[in-house]
Structure 1
Amino acid sequence: MDARTSRFTRKFRAGGAFGWDDVDVLAYKEAGGAPFRAVTRQVLFEEAEQGCQLRYFEVAPGGHTTLERHEHVHAVLVLRGRGAALIGDEVREIGEHDLCRIPPMTWHQFRAADDAPLGFLCLVSSERDRPQLPSDADLAALRTDPAVAAFLRI
């Protein structure tokens, strides 16, 4: 039976390599176009019959995800480490067990602290649109808020 469809698989390992056995550690995104730094992802569940995908993202210390938005909702649970997140026009410190909801068409970006990783689960619809990157006008609008401007990594 495939590890993705077995009822009991994926033993969690919390040692040096945080993650799950038999779950590939993948590149966060394909190279080019979308700026990010030091991020990996693991697809834990790909459930077509439930219509969702559960993924684990690991942002290394000092790393960040891409600044993007899309039509689908994200539900995020921070599992380990700490950092900060931009959701819409609000920047907040985040850490273990914090929850974040990202509404449709809302700009968002996650950053790990300089001295700690940021690992989080992300639940999304199996059927989803492609991320949109900000235009120059979008960036100018976001940067009108000093806290957001200081947070952004692009």
Structure 2
Amino acid sequence: MAATRAKTKRAAQGFTWEGVEVLAYKAEGAAPFKDVTRQVLFEDPHLAAQWRYFEVAPGGHTTLERHQHVHAVMVIRGRGACLVGDEVYTIEPHDLISVPPLTWHQFRATEREPLGFLCLVNAERDRPELPGPQDLQALRQNPRVAAFIRV
């Protein structure tokens, strides 16, 4: 068996890494979001997962969506809040968030600072599902969720 070479990526400035491209979160107009970038930190065929870093600018938010796959999230920068299912949580560095399959979720940064988080997902995964009118009506039954979500 041939030896596999280790791959290393050095931290560059702030929350970027050498050789890792800062990408758009999604194609503009594909889904509602505000001021989010993503970086794919690890994607290896021997590891059936992808490790990504997302950064939400102050006042920004990710898309309200759900998937069949699970997300494992660790906040490493800033503060904000997230919706998971029908609960809104305040989040800060070192918090861990588990998003179960087919669970509505959305992340928001505070108005004062960016929110940065690592996200571990399956390398092969389904496309996001956006809420329809009936889904939004159901989510808005909870006043705290209604006040939180951005669509």
TM-score tier by shorter-chain length is: over 0.9
The answer to whether the aligner puts 1:67 opposite 2:67 as a matched pair is no
Partner of 1:28: 25
Structure 2 residues without counterparts, runs of 5 or longer: none
RMSD (Å) for aligned C-alpha atoms? 1.3
Moved over 6 A (4+): none
Q: Which structure has more strand as a fraction of its residues?
A: 1
Q: Which amino acid aligns with 2:121?
A: V
Moved more, 5-14 or 76-85: 5-14
CA deviation after TM superposition for structure 1 residue 9, in Å: 2.6
Residue deviations 1:71-119 (CA, integer Å, cap 9, x gap): 0000000011010000000001000000000000000000000001100
Partner of 1:13: 12
Residue deviations 1:9-39 (CA, integer Å, cap 9, x gap): 3211354xx2111100000001213000000
With normalisation by structure 2, the TM-score equals: 0.94
Q: Which amino acid aligns with 2:81?
A: A
Structure 1 residues without counterparts, runs of 5 or longer: none
Aligned counterpart in structure 2 of residue 91 of structure 1, from 79, 88, 91: 88
Partner of 1:138: 135
- How many pairs are equivalent? 148
Q: Which amino acid aligns with 1:50?
A: L
Q: Which amino acid aligns with 1:49?
A: H
CA deviation after TM superposition for structure 1 residue 8, in Å: 4.1
CA deviation after TM superposition for structure 1 residue 128, in Å: 0.4
Amino-acid identity (%): 64
With normalisation by structure 1, the TM-score equals: 0.92
